[in-house]
Structure 1
Amino acid sequence: MMRHLIRTTAIGALFVSSVVFATPRMTVDLTLPEITEGQYHRPYVAVWVEDAKGQTVKTLSLWVWDEGHKWLKDIRRWWRKAGREDMSFVDGIASATRPAGHYKIDWDLKDEAGKPLVPASYTVFIEVVREHGGRDLVRQTFDLAAGDFTAQLPATTETGVIDIRLSGMTR
Structure 2
Amino acid sequence: MRHLIRTIAASALFVSSAAFAAPQMTVDLTLSEITEGQYHRPYVAVWVENTQGQPVKTLSLWVWDEGHKWLKDIRRWWRKAGRDDMSFVDGIASATRPAGHYKIDWDLKDELGKALEPARYTVFIEVVREHGGRDLVRQNIDLAAGDFSVQLPATTETGVIDIRLSGMAR
Q: Report the AA paired with residue 144 of structure 1.
A: L
Tell me the residue number matched to 2:81: 82
Deviation track 1:87-111 (CA, whole Å, cap 9, x = no partner) reads 0000000000000000000000000
Secondary structure of the 1:132 match is: coil
Q: Which runs of 5+ in 1 are unaligned?
A: none
Deviation for aligned residue 1:17? 2.5
> Normalised by the size of structure 2, how large is the TM-score?
0.95
The count of corresponding residues between Structure 1 and Structure 2 is: 170
Instruction: After TM superposition, list the pairs within 5 Å mapping 1:104-119 onto structure 2.
Output: 104-119=103-118
The CA deviation string for residues 52-84 of structure 1, in whole angstroms up to 9 with x for no partner, is: 000000000000001100000000000000000
Aligned counterpart, 2:58: 59
Residue 138, structure 1, aligned to residue 137, structure 2: yes
Query: What percent identity do the matched residue pairs reach?
Result: 86
> TM-score, normalization: structure 1?
0.94
Pair 1:12–1:122, CA change in 2 (3 A): same
Instruction: Spell out, residue by residue over 1:117-154, the C-alpha distance to the aligned partner (whole angstroms, 9 max, x if none).
Output: 00110000000000000000000001111111111110
Tell me the SS of whatever aligns to 2:48: strand
- Summarize deviations over 1:33-64 as a string: whole Å, max 9, x none: 11000000000000000000000000000000
Q: Give the letter aligned to residue 153 of structure 1.
A: L
Whether 1:42 and 2:41 are equivalent positions in the alignment is: yes
Divergent runs of 4+, >4 A: 4-10
Structure 2's unaligned 5+ residue stretches are none
